[in-house]
Amino acid sequence: MIEIGRQVPRRRNAFLKLIGSLALGLAGWRISGRIPDEPKFVLTGGPHTSNWDFVFALMSVWKLELDVHWMGKHTIFRWPFRRLFTSFGGIPVDRRNPGTLLRDVLRGFRDGDGFVLALSPEGTRSKVKRLKPGFHRIAVKAGVPIIPAAVDFGSRTIHYGETIWPGDDVDADAARLLAFWSDFKPRHPDQF
């Protein structure tokens, strides 16, 4: 089972908790690890090799009743899904104007008592040579820790890992994330 700190932002919703619990249970998935007692953090998910990663991660968020914000391409935030996605914490990203995204995300960390931003530093389901540094830039500018999460298709487990406080070296922190994820089996291992 999983331990969740008292300060972690929660979104109490019995219906979503039921859907998340049923979906994970029927698929044979479980959740393990620890989410530390932090009101604000960047939640980094990986390895990201399939759209199923997002589905199982979202189901774990619903089951745990976490209040998590996530970013998606602005093109998916169209009618009839816009209201639904934003109510589930979605933040539309227009890659043609990245400066406003950083400003808006940092405002979320600054203005609220609690704020969790979930993202995949790989930025794509394809194999990458280097993680995108945005996860690190956001954590450093917001002064918040990074909590790694892994979707393990080998054991059918969503695992939440130990806190990483970002330092000055984005490559060193990225290496720590990659080392954490390397212990878990992605859906498509050849893409990790």
Domain boundaries, given as residue ranges, for the chain: 2-187
Place of tokens 């932090």: 38
Count H helices, E strands: the chain?
Answer: 6, 8
Stated pTM of the model:
0.86
Nearest to 75 by CA among 48, 61, 96: 96
Answer yes or no: is pLDDT of 124 > 50.
Answer: no
Paired residues of 160 in beta bridges: 33, 149
The pLDDT tens digits for 14-69 are 999 999 999 999 999 999 999 999 999 999 988 877 878 888 988 999 999 999 99
Angle at Cα 185 formed by Cα 169 and Cα 59, nearest 5°?
A: 90
State how far the Cα of 191 lies from the Cα of 155, in Å rounded to an integer.
Answer: 19
**E-assigned strand segments in the chain:** 2-4, 30-35, 40-46, 69-73, 90-93, 115-119, 146-152, 157-160
Query: Could you give the percent of the chain with pLDDT greater than 90?
Result: 48
Q: Return mean pLDDT, the chain.
A: 86
**Residue 75 DSSP label:** G
